[in-house]
Amino acid sequence: MKVATGKSILNGIAIGPLRIYKKAKTQTSQTSSLTPAQEWARFEEASEKAKEQLAELYEKALEEVGEDNAAIFEIHQMMLEDDDYLEAIKGIIDTQGATAEYATETTGENFSAAFAAMDDEYMRARATDVKDISRRVVNVLTGQDEGDALSGQPAILVADDLTPSETVQLDKSKLLGFITRYGSSNSHTAILARTMNIPALIGVDFDDSWDGKPAVLDGYNHCVYIDPAQELLTAMEEKRKADLKQEALLQTLKKKPNVTLDGREIKVYANIGNAGDVGLVLQNDAQGIGLFRSEFIYLDSADYPSEDHQFTIYKRVVETMAGKKVIIRTLDIGADKQADYFELDQEENPALGYRAIRICLTRKDIFKQQLRAILRASAFGTVSIMFPMVISVREVRDAKELLEECRTELKERGVAVGEVETGVMIETPAAVMIADELAAEVDFFSLGTNDLSQYTLAIDRQNPKLDNFYDPHHPAILRMIKHTVQAGHRHGCWVGICGELGADQKLTETFLRMGVDELSVSPSAVLPLRKLIRSLDLSQE
């Protein structure tokens, strides 16, 4: 007898032979010979067909598992109508001349990866759902039939992963239980399994030799016995979480404009640290990404991340944002953000030391690798680049020169590159004081108030002992912000705030009156800010 462990979805026991289920891999071709409009029409037709299938599945599930659990198939129908999802697919068809199936599959993967990386357990479980609906549409487009995973005698199904629709389509009279390598305990597959009283284990490492072997799936003890010495049957217990209701997509402020009562509009973007945060950006309906802290890619790596690796990450973010602006801040390493492989010297004053643009302009090979990756991703949506820790015009000119060099190199390689706006982070007093000159070099400013406060007030942002001395509303900071906005506007630059102060609701009205064009805040702060903005009336003094 052999024992393998996993995570139990349902306390129950199943006894029977194991049956390994391998899904057919759909082959989708990337480039289309049709026009984008024709491909979009194909998608729309397939999506309608998929919705019809889901309506049928809903009826089937209604009979088998009741209204609450059948609701997942209604949610799937709604997901197929989600604006962000549809825009992402259309964006890929339009910008890449891609087939509807490629665009759907890619979007399914991108969104799924974004959901999977979220902290919220409920949202993480949506990763499988978005893959499921995408797969359904792709199957309609390619005329593929998933086939019956269970034919012949009743069995315990073993698979890498099972989607909710596969689960509900399985012939329950033959399904004794299931075991998957992947999946989460909060996925709808898991919920359905619980409701259908099907013992299930996830996270089990299995191999092909299991196929056909007799087994006992012991949900109580989170394990499966292969070739068991004895058989055992037991009653099942349901323990279902009420997380369906938690669905945040229906937040009332989604899709509403960020506009004051007297009609002043301001952009509210979100800050992200890695590609996985994009799910939060969509969930909270930010109009764009105002700060992608790209250095986290470097901090997550054991060695310098390659151009291709970075490109894949930027492309995923840009594609998922489907044409909405994505502002990528170039490498801001050093000071509190250290990666060993950079082998940076110990410094007396690291915040005033060798960091950010200073490293990039001396280690040009690393910088250019990043710039090329960003430029390549710019072909897939709307990308802006901004440079951190700038103190001089020369730095900006040098950075832009390297950017142009990279653009030329890519063109020579025949690689597509989009238009990119360039911007400067205003986070040193020096940058504020020369804002007029800097504005002449770039398209936008983004105020990094975290560092700007540290350098203006001479207060180390890392030192908790200084909290009592730190006043984020210090008039010096507010005047610097005002000065920067005015200088930017004089030269046709738009001006945003991406430091923490941007989310300070006590200052929102002040920022609007100063003429700030954009606020980029953590994703969870987007909707509260929208609520406040919509309640302000700037026509009143």
Query: From the candidates 188, 360, 406, 493, which is the catalytic residue?
Result: 188
Q: CA-CA distance, 111 to 131, in Å (whole number)?
A: 8
Q: Between 83-96 and 100-116, two packed helices, what is the crossing angle to 10 degrees?
A: 130
Tokens of 237: 């217990």
Give min distance, CB of 331 to Mg ion, in A.
Answer: 12
Give min distance, CB of 503 to ligand PEP, in A.
Answer: 11
Judged by beta carbon, residue 395 or residue 427, the one nearer ligand PEP is 427
Give min distance, CB of 476 to ligand PEP, in A.
Answer: 15
The residue assigned the tokens 């229906």 is 250
- Helix, strand, or coil (residue 137): helix
301 in contact with ligand PEP (CB under 6 A): no
502 in contact with ligand PEP (CB under 6 A): no
Give min distance, CB of 356 to Mg ion, in A.
Answer: 8
Query: From the candidates 360, 406, 493, 498, which is the catalytic residue?
Result: 498
295 in contact with Mg ion (CB under 5 A): no
Could you tell me which residues come within 8 angstroms of residue 285 by beta carbon, excluding any fewer than 6 positions away? 251, 253, 254, 255, 526, 527, 530
355 in contact with ligand PEP (CB under 6 A): no
Q: Which of 451, 504, 517, 518 binds ligand PEP (CB under 6 A)?
A: 451
Residues near ligand PEP (CB under 6 A), total: 10
Give the C-alpha distances (Å, rounded to integers) separating 171 from 60, 76, 151, 159.
Answer: 12, 21, 8, 16
Main-chain dihedrals φ then ψ at residue 391, nearest 5 degrees? -125, -5
Which 337-356 positions form the footprint of Mg ion (CB under 5 A)?
A: none
385 in contact with ligand PEP (CB under 6 A): no
Reference 221, options 12, 2, 14; nearest CA is 12
164 in contact with ligand PEP (CB under 6 A): no
Q: CA-CA distance, 506 to 473, in Å (whole number)?
A: 9
Give min distance, CB of 428 to Mg ion, in A.
Answer: 9
Judged by beta carbon, residue 86 or residue 430, the one nearer ligand PEP is 430
Q: CA-CA distance, 130 to 135, in Å (whole number)?
A: 9
Judged by beta carbon, residue 138 or residue 356, the one nearer ligand PEP is 356
427 in contact with ligand PEP (CB under 6 A): yes
330 in contact with ligand PEP (CB under 6 A): no
Judged by beta carbon, residue 441 or residue 451, the one nearer ligand PEP is 451
324 in contact with ligand PEP (CB under 6 A): no
Judged by beta carbon, residue 126 or residue 293, the one nearer ligand PEP is 293
Give the C-alpha distances (Å, rounded to integers) separating 471 from 168, 459, 506, 510.
Answer: 57, 10, 13, 16
Reference 292, options 318, 317, 258, 328; nearest CA is 328
Give min distance, CB of 493 to ligand PEP, in A.
Answer: 18
Cα maximum dimension of the chain: 82
Query: How far separated are the first and last CA of the chain, in Å rounded?
Result: 80
Judged by beta carbon, residue 175 or residue 385, the one nearer ligand PEP is 385
Reference 26, options 181, 188, 147; nearest CA is 147
Positive or negative, the CA dihedral 230, 231, 236, 239 is: positive
Judged by beta carbon, residue 323 or residue 472, the one nearer ligand PEP is 472
Q: List beta partners, residue 232.
A: none
Give min distance, CB of 452 to ligand PEP, in A.
Answer: 6
Q: CA-CA distance, 68 to 188, in Å (whole number)?
A: 12
Q: Which of 105, 451, 504, 518 binds Mg ion (CB under 5 A)?
A: 451
283 in contact with ligand PEP (CB under 6 A): no
The answer to whether residues 13 and 234 touch, using CB atoms and an 8 Å cutoff, is: yes
423 in contact with Mg ion (CB under 5 A): no
Tokens of 198: 């099907």
Residue 188 is among the residues annotated as catalytic for this protein: yes
Q: Which of 293, 315, 316, 355 binds ligand PEP (CB under 6 A)?
A: 293
Q: Which of 16, 164, 448, 496 binds ligand PEP (CB under 6 A)?
A: 448
Q: CA-CA distance, 264 to 328, in Å (whole number)?
A: 27
Which residues are known catalytic residues? 188, 498
Residues that bind ligand PEP (CB under 6 A): 291, 293, 332, 427, 448-451, 498-499
Residues that bind Mg ion (CB under 5 A): 427, 448, 451
